[in-house]
Amino acid sequence: MNYTEDQLIEGLLQQQAEAYRYAVKSYHAPMVKISRAIVGDAFAEEVVQDSWISVMKGLANFQRRSTLKTWILQIVSNTAKTRLKKEKNYRKLSYEENFISEDTENAGYCSEKQWHLDTPDAIVRSHELRQHIESAFDNLPAMQQAVLTLIDAEGLSTSEICRVLDLTETNVRVLIHRGRLKLRKAIDDYQSGEDKPVVNAKVKSVVTVSG
């Protein structure tokens, strides 16, 4: 059965097993992506399980001022940040102050190269390039991973991302810009032979690197 959002909410409130299965099928994967981006692999699944509990407990009070997906991902984001605080690995950032100085070595980087797969050898190497991009994505700061996942993989708008991650629109745009800049640089370095291909990178959702 396919649910409209209102039907799904009502089904969950009535504790219908089919509605819960549909919700898990629809939202669990993006929940894991956001959790992993913020807390890493070690606690990602645990954060998601805690988030599902919070979703079910708080659903009756859901004001529907955003989509159900946005609301759920906001719970995941908050749960993940709380978990980091408990693990004493969380360092609260003043984003407006830190964005200016972050990654100054790449601040003026601008790619002028074109990436084409117009030869048989290039096509063969495209798999290695994908792995290289995935590895570069894994090495992005957590919040850059999170915003790129939300905008490129999950299709959320800037305003929705602001709500999920509790950031200003300016901060979100800076995170997107810096994340994509690093991915473009990683591709250029690979194409120039400056970086060795990575053969054991985790498989992640495709991340758009176009500006």
pLDDT at 94 over 50: no
CATH 1.10.1740.10 positions along the chain are 5-86
CA atoms within 13 A on the CB side of 72: 24
Provide φ and ψ at 60, rounded to 5°: -65, -25
- Which spans in the chain are helix H? 5-13, 17-39, 41-58, 68-86, 95-98, 120-138, 142-148, 158-165, 169-191
Q: How far is CA 177 from CA 117, 140, 167, 188, in A?
A: 25, 12, 15, 16
CATH 1.10.10.10 positions along the chain are 111-191
The pLDDT of residue 159 is: 93
Closest CA to 33 of 85, 69, 86: 69
pLDDT at 69 over 50: yes
Domain 5-86 has CATH 3.40.366.10: no
Fold annotation for 111-191: Arc Repressor Mutant, subunit A (1.10.10)
Q: Check: pTM over 0.85? Answer yes or no.
A: no
**Mean pLDDT over the full length of the chain:** 79
Q: What is the pLDDT of residues 141-186, one digit of tens each?
A: 888 999 999 998 888 999 999 999 999 999 999 999 999 999 988 8
Answer with the residue of higher pLDDT: 85 or 209: 85
Residue 63 makes CB contacts below 8 A (sequence gap 6+) with none
